Copies of this chain bind each other. A is one copy, B any other.
Amino acid sequence: MDTMRHVGDIAKATGLTVRTLHHWEEIGLLVPERSEGGHRAYGPAHVRRLYRIVGLRRLGMPLERIGSLLEGDHDVGAALREQLVELDREIEQLTGLRERVGRVAGALERGVEPRDGDLLDLIEVMTMTETYYTPEQRVRLEERHRQLGEERMEAVQRDWTDLIADAEQHRMAGDDPTGPEMRGIAARWRALVDEFTGGDADLRASLKRMYHEEGPERASRGAIDARLMEYVGHALRVTE
C-alpha cells in the first residue's frame, strides 16, 4: 500500500506552498521521509501532524512554540491563555497607534489643508506633547482651546508674537532684565501662560518641563531662542 505522498500533492491538498513544507523540514517541525530518489515522502502520521500544525498556526502561534506543543513538552491550555494575553497586548498597541494617526488625520480634515511642511510640524508637535502631557492633560488642553474659541486663540497668538518681539527689543538694546519695562513684560508673559493653561498648575509644570528638556527653540517651535528665554527668565524670577 503506497500511502506515501509527494510534496506537491500535500501542498495542493492543504493550500500550503512547497517552500513552506521545505521550511518546516529545515527547522525540524515536520520532517518527512525520503523516497529512493531523494524525494520527500509524507505518510499518514506526517499528514496528521501537519493538520495540527496548521490549526495552531491559524491561532497565530510561532512555529517554534508549535513544535514544543506537538512534542508534548508544554501545556496546550496554558499556551492558549498566553497567546490570548499576547494578542490583547498587540491589539491594544495597534489601537493606540490607530488613534494617534486618526488624531492627526482628523486635524487635517477639520482645518485647512496645510502644506506638507506644516503637517510634518504638526506631527512633530503632537509627538512632543504626547511625551510631556498625560492623556488627561491633553484633554484639558483641548477643552481649554475650545473654551477660548478660534478667534481668541488667534488673538492670543498675536499677543505672544508682539510680546516676544517687545522682549527681544529690550534684550537687543541691552536693557536691564530686572528694570521696570522688563517687569511689565514678565507680567504680560505670566498672564499669557495662564491663559494657555487655564491657571492649571499641573499643566504649567508639564509645560515648564517640556521647555526645560527640549529647550525653548523646539518647545516654542522656533519662536523663542535660548538667549531670549534666559533674558526673560531673569525677569520672571525677580518678579516671582
Contacts and interface: CB of A to CB of B under 8 A. Distances in A.
A87 B94 contact: yes
Contact of A91 (B60, B95, B100): B95
B100 A59 contact: yes
A80 B94 contact: no
Max chain B Cβ within 10 angstroms of own Cβ: one of A90, A113, A127: A127
| Count of this chain's copies in the oligomeric assembly | 2
A120 B55 contact: yes
A83 B101 contact: yes
Interface residues of A, number: 43
Nearest to A118: B76
Contacts of A91: 91, 94-95, 98
A52 interface: yes
- 6 tightest CB-CB pairs across the interface, nearest first? A55-B123, A55-B127, A55-B124, A87-B98, A76-B119, A76-B116
